[in-house]
C-alpha cells in the first residue's frame, strides 16, 4: 500500500529551508531579494515554497518551479557577499541564487542538483 501511494508522488531527493534569490526571469534581470524558502528537489525539478505547509496538494501552493532539464549549475562566489552561494540558470534564462550558512549543506545540494541535471540531459 505504501509503495502504491509513492507511485503517484514525485520522487523527493532532498528537502530543506534554503535562502533563494531569483535574479533573472526569462533573461530579464530582477532585483535581488533573498527569501527563506522550503526547497524540495525531485527527480527533475526544484520546487520552491514560501511555507513548509504548502507542500500539501493545495492549488497554487507551489511558489515557483525550477525546471532542471537543460539547466546549468555553478558556484557563484562573486555574485553575493554571502557564503556558500551557487547559481542555477534554467534553459529558459531564469537565474536563481541559492545559499545556506552550512557549507556541507550547500555542497550536498549542489552535488544533488548537478546529478539531477546530468541525468536529465542523458534522456
Indicate the residue among 97 and 116 with the shorter CB distance to ligand I3P: 97
- Taking the complex as a whole, the smallest distance from the CB of residue 28 to ligand I3P amounts, in Å, to 16
Gap between the Cα atoms of 41 and 120, Å rounded: 13
Three-state SS for 93? coil
Out of 56, 57, 81, 104, the only residue in the binding site for ligand I3P (CB under 6 A) is 81
- Vertex 75 angle, CA 72 and 79, to 5°: 105
- Taking the complex as a whole, the smallest distance from the CB of residue 70 to ligand I3P amounts, in Å, to 26
Of the candidate spans 3-11, 45-53, 60-68, 78-86, the one that interacts with ligand I3P by CB under 6 A turns out to be 78-86
85-89 and 72-75 beta bridge pairing: antiparallel
Positions that interact with ligand I3P (CB under 6 A): 31-32, 34, 80-82
Amino acid at each position: 500500500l505504501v509503495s502504491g501511494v509513492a507511485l503517484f508522488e514525485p520522487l523527493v531527493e532532498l528537502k530543506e529551508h534554503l535562502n533563494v534569490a531569483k535574479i533573472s526571469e526569462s533573461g530579464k534581470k530582477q532585483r535581488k531579494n533573498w527569501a527563506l524558502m522550503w526547497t524540495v528537489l525531485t527527480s527533475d525539478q526544484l520546487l520552491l515554497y514560501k511555507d513548509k505547509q504548502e507542500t500539501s496538494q493545495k492549488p497554487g501552493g507551489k511558489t515557483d518551479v525550477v525546471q532542471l532539464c537543460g539547466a546549468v549549475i555553478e558556484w557563484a562566489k562573486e555574485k553575493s557577499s554571502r557564503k556558500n552561494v551557487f547559481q542555477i540558470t534554467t534553459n529558459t534564462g531564469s537565474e536563481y541564487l541559492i545559499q545556506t550558512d552550512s557549507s556541507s549543506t550547500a555542497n550536498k545540494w549542489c552535488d544533488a542538483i548537478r546529478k539531477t541535471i546530468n541525468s536529465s540531459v542523458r534522456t
